Amino acid sequence: MSAGPGQSTSAPSWLRQRSHAMRRMLAAAEPATLLVLTLLLLTPLFSLRAAGWPISMNTAVPVLLLSLLFSLWLALSRHSELFALLLSWLYGFSSALLLVAANEPGDLFQGIASLLQKVVLWVNAALAGSFSQDAVILNLLLAAVIWLLTYNAVWHVYRVNQVLRAVLPVGLALLANAFSYQGAANLDPYLGAFLFLSLLLVIRSSLEGREWQWYVNRVRVPRNLRRQFYQLGGLLALLALLLAWLLPATNLQQRLDELEELLAGEPLTEAANLLDRLFSSGDLPGPATADYYGGDSLQLGGAVRLGDEVVMQVAASPEHRYYWRSRVYDIYENGRWLPAADTRLTDPQAPLELPPVNAVDETRVAVDQTFTMALRASRLVYAAPQVAAVNLPTRSDIRYIGPDGRFLEPPARDQQIRSINVSVIRPLRVLNSGDSYTVTSLLNTAGADQLRPAGRDWPDWVRSLYFYVSPSVTPRTRELARNIVNSAGAETPYDQAVALESWLRQNIRYNELIPPPPEGQDPVDWLLFDIGEGYCNYYASAMIVMLRSLGVPARLATGFAQGRWDAAGSQYEVLERDAHSWVEVYFPGYGWVEFEPTSAQAPLIREDPEQSLVAAESFFPTATATATPTATATPTPDERQEFPPPEPEREELPERPDATPTPTLTPTPTSTPSPTITPSPSATPTPTLDLPSVPPQSAPPLESPLDPPQSDPPEAPSSVPPLPNGLLAATILLLLLLLLLFLWWWWEWRGLRRMNPIARAWARLERYTRLIGIRMDPAQTPAERRRRIVEDLPVAEAPVTAITSLYMRARYGPASQDDADSNEADVSWGRARYRILRRWLGRVLLPWRRR
């Protein structure tokens, strides 16, 4: 078919206009600069992909490219910064939603419905304190972050020529991934590429400033100068990177270690744990830090995810059962464990030598261990209990014990010290992958025949701290502990500990994917009487709480189980999933002794050596044994053992017998340089021998946790029940309504309340027209301003003309008190406002429309 008169077979005019506008925009953006910026924005994306994050490249890359073009159009337009930012947010959220939904099964509408359903489920899980297993939500939020990072970079490169503001957020994202990643992939090339591309953008920014100065001063510039500038600058950037790579980095490494230690601090670790809970897809990379159980507190929470990454290798004699302890916790308060250290001991010279433990000589065996770290960084010293020496410069959190068997009040450097209660030992320098250190521990080998008659003559420092039972522990938890030991006929502390250990192994099912405990309920009570399943933190906490309620001192130890024996390498290979917590019970004359209530771990057997070796031969490796796998969870019966109802009598804690001297060992001074002791603010230890009635307080930095006893124990903290969904939605709607009312007042009445209606209508007209890009020249007359508005907004000609006439008559004519003029000004302003806001909404939702 031939074209008729006036028709054309070429592309439509609007398409040609858009194509021409696109070519002009790309030419103004400079293809070379646009390519450099695109590659720079892709570096953190591919870095996250290399680190193992479950990123959908089918979503992330299109979002980045679409944001690049849209942000470039905004940066080269005449829109204000605030308007461009709001427009970018609106289009960014819509684009991220559509692109993520497009990768969902089904058509686009089904994908949007599925995505919105997953968002609702994720929000409900987040509010309930649970975790998410769907990577779609992570990709949705990641797409939104990519959009905003791209917009920020494009705006600051092309609109304001501030390169640092453009590259800094991208670099922080890249560094955060590099510091948090603990795997084997090398992320350094991505960091190097980012630095090189950033230097190219700095070169471009410098050239832009020079060219402007040359233009102002009418300096003629060669045509190929820009290309030569880029070539020479790129070569210098490469040389600078190579020089930085080859230079010695002793001080730099120290600063990097300090930064890495800062990132591993408690607040950032808790934030990382929160993000891990909100986006805990099974495909996420490993932990954000290698400091398992190394924080200043341990909270009994929801599900945990442990992988199969190798954490460390340990060369030690295979004749013993080991735990690799990182730290201990002393105070339990409503599901939260805290340490009781009050002094920080810094020893810059290796080795760190600790006074010998208070124990019978023949029950302690010196065992040497050599630890080789496999992850990228570690800020803890792991060792078998009890540590005697560490060949590292260290920083330890401790409490001193005096010759009278009581905790010493810091500072204790001038006082006689009998022993040291160690909470955690840290290396002064971060241990990197491949670093090794040696530890000597005095392993406790006391058998049941020795621990059973140990008695109850506990020293004062044990009584003052390890008998405390939190007010959150319920009476039925106390009664359950009493019923268990009564049914087992357990009278001595050792038999009671064994009875509770056995009951927990038989009646609590091991499960790492439990929900968080309910608000307002003690987690131990919830474990024992409601859910009946949990993981090591819950097993150990329940046993400790019940032991303390019976008057037996116990504490929580954390770190790793021994792992699997590698016969070829004659060492233990410890995996991430070996992260573990267990119970330590104090026995007079023998010190701290380990117990294993977790059913997923092999039991600890303390009978005579022959029986112990036969019963555990499948677990303990021998010198000729092949690789033995880590003990797996043992089946637990579905039916939990029942006990008779508790008796109505009030529970009595065991009374302390007459004090008898406890065998002690005189500490041997070492010849190493005196370590630096950093005491905390002083606090008075509890002098009484009675069981504590108030919780020991633990507050950073390393304050003494023992306060003088009060007459009444504090009540357990009450929790406010969560808002119902309907009330929460109503609250959000009310806040949005208040925000809209504030914005309406801001535009309608800010600074205009004292004006008369005609002057106010004219002032509002000038204020509102700024929304649609109309800027008035102060030198223009009212008639010229009316003409300017009508040219851009013809549909508002009638009300704008009326307001202008009323304003000119009121301003330059005789004074008038006619109410009709005021009413006409109000009506005309309402009509003009409607047309201005209609145009503004059209520009926001459909920015490509000019009218």
Task: With beta carbons less than 8 A apart as the criterion, state whether 659 and 297 touch.
Answer: no
Least confident of 40-44, 232-236, 351-355, 570-574: 232-236
**Band of pLDDT at residue 696, cut at 50, 70 and 90:** low
What average pLDDT score do residues 172-199 get?
A: 78
**Is the model more confident about 570 or about 737?**
570
Q: Over the range 514-541, which residues count as b (16 or more CB within 10 Å of their CB) and which as e?
A: bebbeeebbbbbbbbeebbbbbbbbbbb
Q: Return the pLDDT at 681.
A: 35
The residue-averaged pLDDT of 463-487 equals: 94
Give the residue, 517 or 750, on which the prediction is more confident: 517
CA dist 196 and 6 (Å) reads 55
Residue 285's pLDDT is: 44
Give mean pLDDT, residues 809-826: 77
Structure tokens at 383: 């060792």
Pick from 366, 372, 368, 367: which is nearest to 314 by CA?
Answer: 372
For residue 258, what pLDDT is reported?
52
pLDDT of 9 above 50: no
Q: What percent of the chain has pLDDT over 90?
A: 20
**33 vs 224, higher pLDDT:** 33
Q: In the structure encoding, which two tokens stand for residue 131, read together?
A: 């975790």
3-state secondary structure at position 461: helix
Instruction: Categorize the per-residue pLDDT at 22 as very low, low, confident or very high, splitting at 50, 70 and 90.
Output: low
Residue type, 760: R
Element (H, E) at 799: helix 797-812
How far, in Å, CA of 833 to CA of 796, rounded?
9
The owner of tokens 């309340």 is 753
CA–CA separation, 395 and 677 (whole Å): 10
Q: Using H for helix, E for strand and C for coil, what is the string for 217-251?
A: CCCCCCCCHHHHHHHHHHHHHHHHHHHHHHCCCHH
Is 680's pLDDT higher than 50?
no
pLDDT at 227 over 70: no
- Measure CA of the first residue to CA of the last residue in the chain; give whole Å: 35
Q: How far apart (Å, rounded) are the C-alpha atoms in residues 594 and 587?
A: 11
Cβ neighbours, 10 Å, residue 681: 11
Q: Which residue(s) pair with 338 in the sheet?
A: 331
pLDDT at position 492 over 70: yes
Residue 257 has pLDDT above 80, yes or no: no
On whether the CB atoms of residues 114 and 105 are closer than 8 A, the answer is yes
3-state DSSP percent of the chain in helix, strand and coil, to 5? 45, 15, 40
The pLDDT-based confidence of 636 (bands split at 50, 70, 90) is very low
CA 386 – CA 422 distance, rounded (Å) = 9
In angstroms, rounded to a whole number, what is the distance separating the alpha carbons of residues 429 and 393?
Answer: 8
Give residue 431's pLDDT.
85
What's the mean pLDDT in 783-806?
88
The whole-model pTM stands at 0.55
In this prediction, residue 568 carries a pLDDT of 86
The H or E element containing residue 324 is strand 323-329
- What average pLDDT score do residues 641-662 get? 36
Amino acid at 547: L
How does pLDDT run across 273-289, given as a tens digit for each residue? 555 555 544 444 443 33
pLDDT in tens, 525-568: 999 999 999 999 999 999 999 999 999 999 999 999 999 998 88
CA atoms within 13 A on the CB side of 501: 22
- Give the mean model confidence (pLDDT) for residues 217-239: 68
Give the residue carrying structure tokens 């209660």. Answer: 421
pLDDT of residue 350: 81
pLDDT at position 729, please?
Answer: 61
DSSP state of 434: T
Specify the pLDDT at position 717: 35
Q: Residue 727's pLDDT is what?
A: 53
Q: Which pair of structure tokens corresponds to residue 365?
A: 């065996």
Residue 710 has pLDDT above 50, yes or no: no
Q: Given a cut of 70, is residue 401 above it in pLDDT?
A: yes
Calculate the CA 246 to chain-centre distance.
Answer: 34
SS3 of 133, please? Answer: coil
| Highest mean pLDDT out of 232-236, 567-571, 774-778 | 567-571
Residues 6+ apart with CB under 8 A from 724: none
Cα(411)–Cα(345) distance, rounded to whole angstroms?
11
Sequence letter at residue 113: A
pLDDT at 331: 93
pLDDT tens for 155-182 read: 888 887 788 888 888 888 888 777 666 5
Residue 138's CB is within 10 A of a number of other CB atoms, namely 22
Using CB atoms within 10 Å of the CB of residue 220, give its burial: 0 to 12 exposed, 13 to 18 middle, 19+ buried: exposed
Give the model's confidence band at 30: pLDDT under 50 very low, under 70 low, under 90 confident, else very high.
confident
Return the DSSP state at 361.
Answer: G
Give the burial class of 286: count Cβ atoms within 10 A of its Cβ; 0-12 exposed, 13-18 middle, 19 or more buried: buried
Kindly state the average pLDDT of the residues 716-738.
Answer: 54
Instruction: Output the CA angle 551-553-558, nearest 5 degrees.
Output: 140
Q: What is the pLDDT of residues 334-355, one digit of tens each?
A: 999 999 888 888 888 888 888 7
Report the C-alpha gap between 373 and 393 in whole angstroms. 16
- Locus of tokens 């060949």: 391
CA 134 to chain centre: 18
Tell me how many degrees the CA angle 830-834-835 measures, rounded to the nearest 5.
120
Question: Does residue 27 have a pLDDT over 70?
Answer: no
Q: What pLDDT is attached to residue 657?
A: 33
Q: Name which of 591, 504, 493 is nearest 551 in CA terms.
A: 493
Beta carbons within 10 angstroms of residue 254's beta carbon: 12
CA distance 566 to 623: 11
**String of b and e for 176-201 (b: at least 16 CB within 10 Å)?**
bbbbbbbeeeebeebbbbbbbbbbbb
Distance (Å, rounded) from C-alpha 833 to C-alpha 850?
18
pLDDT at 690: 44
CA 199 to mean position of chain CA atoms: 31
**Residue 234 backbone dihedrals phi, psi, to 5 degrees:** -65, -40
Rounded to the nearest 10°, the torsion over CA 512, 513, 516, 518 is: -100
pLDDT over threshold 80, residue 756: yes
> Residue 417 in contact with residue 402, Cβ under 8 Å?
yes
pLDDT at 308: 83
96-155 residue pLDDT tens: 888 888 887 778 788 888 888 887 777 766 665 555 556 777 788 888 889 989 999 888
Which is higher by pLDDT, 52 or 576?
576
Confidence (pLDDT) at 144: 87
pLDDT band of residue 484 (cuts 50, 70, 90) is very high
Structure tokens at 685: 């230890």
Q: Beta strand 331-333 with 323-329: parallel, antiparallel or unpaired?
A: unpaired
**Which pLDDT score is estimated for 329?**
94
Instruction: Give the chain's mean pLDDT.
Output: 74
- Could you give the CA distance from residue 385 to residue 475 in angstroms, rounded to a whole number? 33
Q: How confident is the model at residue 658 (pLDDT cuts 50, 70, 90)?
A: very low
Whole-angstrom Cα distance, residue 275 to residue 119?
16
Q: Tell me, what's the pLDDT at 289?
A: 39
